A and B are shown apart, each in its own frame.
Chain A
């Protein structure tokens, strides 16, 4: 286990940001932290990287206290892309960060991997949004960390740059690195994560593999083409696009049997898992009702 929080509480001003969070980050995994704005993801990350101390509970990083600078040698973090130091160049920012680690990545190799090789002499203020994002993610890997904490790494990136970053994250993992990722993009968690923790209102409300979270919600989609919407029992949700009908159901087998029994004239029948996004919304809905 490379990082862990245990029954952590944290109040920020008037807001109780964390109310008893326990979570492990295991060596070699990619854990995605999901949740709506204000769920407490950023506060939790700030405790793990040593920016804040918890009011109650324990925070451990590589067996030590992340408030101690020496403990943070295992850590690499993305800064917010809006906040580079003024008037420095890309190479200078990378070198400033590298100076803090004993076995950092070579600057040029790092810049090349993130498509920044030709921008090395560019002033950071002159980078485009996407370039600044790539630099921010590159900085998390600059020190060859054991744990990379990527806070919203691909927000505002086009599809191609996002895929390129995903490849770098995958590569880091294959070399044995651990990743803690916060993201708004469920697609991203679904593509990269070994495990997902869903946070809401200062608590972890669900935790497991992306598949397990989807299973926990227990719905599947049954989709086919037909001229008319057939009347079917056991349907949780329904959507229609032209002649394409989609039914959400807890028991796809029973629903398909019923479709056949009723003699519905269907074509292109498919049974699909629900997306993580739908599962995530369902988990949060359950939390609101509880």
Chain B
């Protein structure tokens, strides 16, 4: 507990003192929402739907980059191998990273909800929030695993450009920026095969008070397991060489 707190404190302090990373990550999804989505949301149903999409986008941004680029940077920094020599299981440090990402993701989602509430006829009753939270968390874990896998698969320098290359199409094709029926025809056909779209299929029923289709939960779980296995394999491969 003490160690988990100590590592979480260190991670959060480091983040708070690098506003150049923190503020854009927090504000980018909301800015995007205000510019492109908010002006075209006349009804509460449409506002709820779009807010769900952009909240997911905000959580995606935080978890994917926090674990992707963050882990890649750590691979370059000898401090992380020093920490591995301290008498503590790596679980504490990993738990601290998950906590930090969760705090950031919640903040980013909160900023988005505030932005939406101020500019659209958003109306999400409290009763819907447990399901929204659950859906967001499940996808956040999945994308954190994808980020970690990426960080270990490529060289630290390639991680950031490659992360952007994956992140933007995943968000767009997955339907985080506009409803899938407005996407180009070809994109509509690819969309259901992406983890980002499967994630949206969990969030949309949660904001719209619809029922969940078990198939989408299985798909998200399947992607999570696959990304975790890939991350584990890539991490062991990396350790064997260094």
Contact = CB atoms under 8 A, between A and B. Distances in A.
B2 A79 contact: no
A12 B79 CA distance: 20
B86 A83 contact: no
Interface stretch (B9-17, B40-48, B113-121, B212-220): B9-17
Contacts of A143: 87
A100 B87 contact: yes
B84 interface: yes
A51 B3 contact: no
A70 interface: yes
Contacts of A235: none
B87 A87 contact: no
A86 B18 contact: yes
Given A92-B10, A96-B6, A96-B7, A69 B89 contact: yes
Contacts of B239: 52
A88 interface: yes
B77 A72 contact: no
A74 B198 CA distance: 49
A72 B18 contact: no
A50 interface: yes
Nearest to B79: A83
- Residue with the greatest number of chain B CB neighbours at <10 A, chosen from A79, A95, A101: A79
Given A87-B18, A95-B6, A96-B7, A70 B78 contact: no
Contacts of B13: 87-88, 92
Contact of B87 (A73, A86, A88): A73
A83 B77 contact: yes
Nearest to A45: B85
B36 interface: no
Interface string B103-137: 00000000000000000000000000000000000
Given A77-B82, A83-B77, A99 B87 contact: no
B79 A87 contact: no
A85 B14 contact: yes
Main secondary structure of the interface of A (DSSP, over half): loop
Interface in A86-134: 86-88, 92, 95-97, 99-101, 123
Nearest to B6: A99
Nearest to A71: B87
Given A83-B77, A83-B78, A86-B18, A101 B87 contact: yes
Interface string A26-67: 000000000000000000000001111000000000000000
Contacts of B9: 96
A100 B96 CA distance: 14
Interface in B211-242: 239-242
Contacts of B94: none
Interface residues of A, number: 32
A166 interface: no
B242 A72 contact: no
Interface residues of B, number: 26
A75 interface: yes
B242 to A, nearest CB: 7
Contacts of B84: 50-51
- Residue with the greatest number of chain B CB neighbours at <10 A, chosen from A75, A95, A100: A100
B87 A69 contact: yes
B14 A88 contact: yes
Interface string A2-16: 000000000011000
B78 A100 contact: no
A155 interface: no
Given A12-B242, A87-B14, A88-B14, A82 B78 contact: yes
A174 interface: no
A69 B10 contact: no
Contact of B241 (A13, A82, A100): A13
Contacts of B78: 79-80, 82-83
Contacts of A100: 3, 86-88
Contact of B85 (A12, A51, A95, A96): A51
Contacts of A101: 87
A38 to B, nearest CB: 15
Contact of B88 (A51, A69, A88): A69
16 contacts: A12-B242, A75-B85, A75-B87, A79-B78, A79-B82, A83-B78, A83-B79, A85-B10, A85-B14, A86-B14, A86-B77, A87-B14, A87-B15, A99-B2, A99-B6, A100-B3
Given A51-B85, A70-B87, A96-B9, 7 more contacts: A50-B84, A69-B87, A71-B87, A72-B87, A80-B82, A85-B10, A88-B14
Interface of A: 12-13, 49-52, 69-73, 75, 77, 79-80, 82-88, 92, 95-97, 99-101, 123, 139, 143
